[in-house]
Amino acid sequence: MIDPREAAPQDPERYWREHVQRLNAPQLTARAVIVGMAIGAVMCLSNLYVFFKTGWSMGVTITAAILSFALFQLFHGLGRLVNRSVTPLSALENNALITVSSGAGFMTGGGNMAAFGALLMVTTLRPDPTAMIFWFGAIAALGVFTAIPIKRQLINHEGLAFPTGKATAETLHAIHGAADGTGGGEGIQQARSLGLAALFAAAVAWFRDATAPWMPFNLPHAFPLGLNIGGRPAADWTLSLKTEVVLIGAGALMSFRTGWSLLLGGLLTYAFLAPALVAQGVIGAVSYKAIVGWTVWPGAAILVASGLTSFALDWRSVGRSFSGITSIFTKKPADHVADPMDAIECPGWWFPAGFMVLGPIVVILMTWLFQIPWWAGIIAVPLAVVMGFVASRVTGETDVTPTKALGPVTQLLYGVMTPGNLSGNIMSANVTGGIGLHAADLLTTLKTGWLLGANPRAQFYAQLFGVLAGAAVVVPAFNILIPDPTVLGTDAWPAPSCLVWAGVSKAFAGGVGALDSLARTGIGIGLALGVTLALLERFAPKPLKAFVPSPSGLGIAMVIPGSNAIAMFIGALGAKIANDTNPEFARKYVVPVSSGLIAGESLMGVAIAMLIVAGFLSK
């Protein structure tokens, strides 16, 4: 599959119009919207579960593409049995469908649940659920509008990679057979493997977590390692083999470098650092919550410092983002010739119109829900839009949306503007993260559409449908899954990103000076380590880069149980072995099987939580 930017660097848009575009083909159909919203809602539930277990939100587009393809193949087969014709899903319809799904599934990302969880952990605020639905929906929709003025520059003209978008286009091309809906043997095989993995994971979760007098047995939550550390079983230090296969699936979707960095960080934290701190009396009890109450400081420092350093090293991207902003407001000359792409792309005026409608809504909600001064809210929205431009470019070049860097920047600014306002500090960064993530998410799916010849306006509408579905699902699902916020930050629900978000806000809102000297030392060491690792990632000789620990892996390992780090390493190791021994097998099955493990356990976890609320199961 050739990017028009590579095929015709002098005029990629003309090449796209003449050789790629398929604007008249069915795309944003009613069935694509309905099924996309349904799959997106399911993926949102799955991501919510995974997020509070691991701190990561998993990718949505490839999983949604395989699921929707298999579902419509099933509909087609059933239709033939009853003599009713059901047209198979085309690649472009599937592209619109996964755009809807992605808008919904990523509602857990961008700092949304990290900020919401942190808010509930460290303040007494309990915002009205309906108001929070509007809050998350408004932020996400503003992110969608933010993508409009930079789409042509980043995708059409510069041809930025957006690797996930390109991988999704290649997946659609493969499973639909030359992107015309006639092939798909590989897609059926991938869907079958995803379904079998999901059934296995759901069964494990059911027999482990569903407790009732009529249950024949329950699987253990973990198996001991048979080791003692500091005179105590390793399990007391959170080091064990968990039976949560969702963690194995999540690990398989990470890079092997991140996986072994998680293992390294987990062992250093719980086998060496924690026992030493307990022996010195710094940590008063041997429990996950007591340990992470201290290790969150160096862990958060590593994540923030590495994120900001990587961001600073990409200063050229940042500069190009700001230079691109000026083109939005540049008046066209009187002799301007009509551009044929203007009739295809989203009109430029949609962005300021969306900003004028959604901006005041976000400011009002900030003031009402989180006691943020109105003037600070007015500053937050345009600042977040600018950060969204920057985040989109960085995502296009690296496939990583820099919320770990942009969130703390906002927290620092609001720590200065509104000192002591903890809830305002947390949720102002939510605006930055949410707008940046949803702008980057739409641009990633627009990259897929660009390669397939899709209608960008149809994808814009599709993303908004997804935002509606995700906002409507994520808050009620949170309340069902986490009815008591005090469980956040425990071994059952580690919520590592919430811990980091809360820790950074505490430091910026209340001042680092309020912490004890050893915690400040830990922060200093974490900052130095984060900067060093980010520099080594960029400048170390290529043969050595594979041996540089991932700062994200090390930082997260300090705020999740050691057993989680072990399980995710096992998943990453399994994917690494598959890739090294049989690359074609790994290409076809690693993502579907891993996604199945994640979806199966997470959806069963949500179902069990609902059955507990209904009284069918006991806690």
The three-state DSSP-derived secondary structure of 426-448 is HHHHHHHHHHHHHHHHHHHHHHH
> Which residues are bridge partners to 211 per DSSP?
618
pLDDT tens, residue by residue, 82-102: 777 778 888 899 999 999 998
Token look-up 């309905």 returns 34
Query: What is the separation of C-alpha 25 from the centre of its chain, rounded to a whole number of angstroms?
Result: 31
**End-to-end CA distance of the chain, in Å?**
51
pLDDT at 173: 78
Q: Which amino acid is at 261?
A: S
The pLDDT of 553-574, averaged and rounded, is 89
Return the closest-CA partner of residue 250 out of 542, 601, 536: 601
Show the CA angle centred on residue 479, arms to residues 203 and 487, nearest 5°.
75
pLDDT tens, residue by residue, 248-307: 988 887 788 888 999 999 999 999 999 999 998 888 888 887 888 788 788 878 877 887
HSE (side-chain half, CA atoms, 13 Å) at 392:
37
pLDDT at 66: 80
> Long-range pairs for 477-481 at CB < 8 Å and ≥24 separation?
477/44, 477/45, 477/48, 477/606, 478/48, 478/113, 478/116, 479/129, 480/606, 480/609, 480/610, 480/613, 481/48, 481/49, 481/52, 481/605, 481/606, 481/609
Report the distance separating Cα 538 and Cα 33, nearest Å: 42
517-539 and 288-313 helices cross at what angle (nearest 10)? 40
pLDDT at 513: 63
Phi first, then psi, for residue 337 (nearest 5°) are -90, 135
What is the DSSP code string of 11-59? -HHHHIIIII--TTS--S-HHHHHHHHHHHHHHHHHHHHHHHHHS----
As given in the structure block, the two tokens for residue 589 are 């099955």
Is pLDDT above 50 for 607? yes
The pLDDT of 325-343, averaged and rounded, is 63
Q: For 228, which DSSP code?
A: E
As given in the structure block, the two tokens for residue 177 are 């057979």
Neighbours of 84 (CB within 10 A): 9
pTM for the whole structure: 0.75
As given in the structure block, the two tokens for residue 379 are 């500053």
Is pLDDT above 50 for 226? yes
pLDDT tens, residue by residue, 20-60: 888 888 899 999 999 999 998 888 888 888 788 876 666 67
Token look-up 């960085």 returns 394
Is pLDDT above 80 for 312? no
Q: For 179, which DSSP code?
A: I
91-105 and 30-54 helices cross at what angle (nearest 10)? 40
Q: Of 308 and 429, which is predicted with more confidence?
A: 429
> Which residues are bridge partners to 222 per DSSP?
242
pLDDT at 496: 78
pLDDT at 182: 46
pLDDT at 271: 93
Which run of H or E residues covers position 72?
Answer: helix 61-81
> Percent helix, strand, coil in the chain (nearest 5)?
75, 0, 25
Structural Rg of the chain based on CA atoms: 24
- b (16+ CB within 10 A) / e for 22-45: beebebbbebbbebbbbbbbbbbb
Phi first, then psi, for residue 618 (nearest 5°) are -100, 160
pLDDT at 183: 47
Report the distance separating Cα 61 and Cα 59, nearest Å: 6
Q: How confident is the model at residue 172 (pLDDT cuts 50, 70, 90)?
A: confident
Report the distance separating Cα 469 and Cα 104, nearest Å: 6
pLDDT tens, residue by residue, 192-220: 888 888 899 989 989 998 888 888 889 99
Q: Which residues contact 377 (CB under 8 A, 6 or more apart)?
A: 362, 363, 364, 366, 367
Which run of H or E residues covers position 417?
Answer: helix 403-417
Return the closest-CA partner of residue 564 out of 313, 270, 160, 331: 270
- Residue % of the chain over a pLDDT of 90: 21
The pLDDT of 312-337, averaged and rounded, is 56
Is pLDDT above 50 for 181? no
Phi-psi region of 3 (alpha: psi -120 to 50; beta: other; left: phi over 0): beta
Return the closest-CA partner of residue 458 out of 168, 102, 100: 100
As given in the structure block, the two tokens for residue 416 are 């200065």
